[in-house]
Chains A and B, each alone.
Chain A
Amino acid sequence: MLRVEKLNFAYDDLKVLWDVDLEVNEGEIVTVVGANGAGKSTTLKNISRLVKPSSGKITFDGKDLGKMQPHHVVEAGIVQVPEGRRIFPEMSVMENLRMGSYVKATRADRQKNIDWVFELFPRLKEREKQLGGTMSGGEQQMLAIARGLMANPKVLLLDEPSLGLSPLLVKSIFDIITGINQQGVTILLVEQNVYQSLRISHRAYVMETGRVVLTGKGEELLNNDHIKKAFLGM
């Protein structure tokens, strides 16, 4: 469904992605794991067209994203919840959610989606009127995911959703991701929490210094020696 082929990218002179190949099939949870600076977020930024690749091809349902503006990508159904939450600090929870369904085609479902995300995250409903910038880190993360869901994503790109959350909340975030996936949303997850994310994913990729070095099924990789050494401290 989403396919990244031989993606190369450089920030000015600093080359950070080398021939990255990724594929996400409909209905899957696919995880990208890797150390800090491996190029995971940069890969997602290329998919969302926030930055333009130096070479390579990204297609979605066969359509080339190469000529699209970032807002076209969202309209096509690829929605990213970025690293660091990036909610609108001076807008209320409700306004943030409304922005999630800014795309015209999704506005008809706005109320339905608000009900849905309030069911997923009851905390947000309690804080409907609070300004995004004054929420706690965990609440902001819930809001960021909820805002992404407002856009009726076909594929949801999640960049380190568990970062900075308490262990209890981490667990529930992963449960929620699984739940969202079961409702038919395909997921491309970037995570540092290798154990939890591999456990819930169908397939995974391992990135190191800008390259994909390993790929396989979620459970397979959990038992992989390299992964155990590099990420799980075993």
Chain B
Amino acid sequence: MYPSAFGYYRAASVQEAVALLGEHPDAKLLAGGHSLIPAMKLRLATPSALVDLGSVAELRGIRQQGETIVIGAMTPHREIEYSTELAKTCPILPEAAAVIGDPLVRNRGTIGGSLAHADPAADFPACVLALGGTLTIQGTAGGRTVEAADFFQDMFATALQPGEVLTEIQVPARQPGVGMAYEKFAHPASRYAIVGVAAVVRMNRSVCEEARVAMTGATSKPTRLTKLEAALAGKPLDEATLKATCVNVVSPDGLLGDHTASATFRAHLTDVFAKRALQRAAERSTSR
């Protein structure tokens, strides 16, 4: 595994990272390196240089601002997995973090890297989409904010422009009556999602006021299951409803498929995992 030759720069701040990207147009940002380095070893990526964000302290950490949780792009999966704050304010993120790869991957990989890379089988993108998160981006022209729904554009393609750094992710803190869960069918080798479903439901007594359900793994980008969401609104999320609604949630046409799991199978798994995620999300909506 030998990458082609590349330069290496370590940025001390976001500003410096942006400046370095400006100087080296074919450079790439290095976060945890757990997607980028393997791609370089296979020569699928051949950046002229790496700009390492590892020393940019301002990009790391989890904090709450009023009703919003702010997570720095360089926060490793492991920190999210073990965050006692997030366990209360946004439990779907620790839950998803816990099923990413293995401990080594979780110690190095970052949420910013995961979202910026936009692997169609990654776990966080679906969660952030279901949560209705927003992403903050810095470039030479200054900062901007993008809705998760607009951020993910295609397989490995996002709203990030060359020279831009993803700095923060904002998600709403959990309100009373809101429940959330992430359910994943992991690839037996890579442990990436073959199908993952993130469900965030707002319940009033036992009736669903709003359901936001997003899938990953089988679509080229994280995708809201809008038909299912509509069918759930105003209903109790009991066994009968879920059984009736989590059927043919997506069509296999246009889904990803390979020798491990065909499009047909992934469509079926979407039904199963949508149901499982919704079931648990509904159960959790009653907890405080």
Chain A bound to chain B: no
Residues of A near any B CB (own CB < 8 A): none
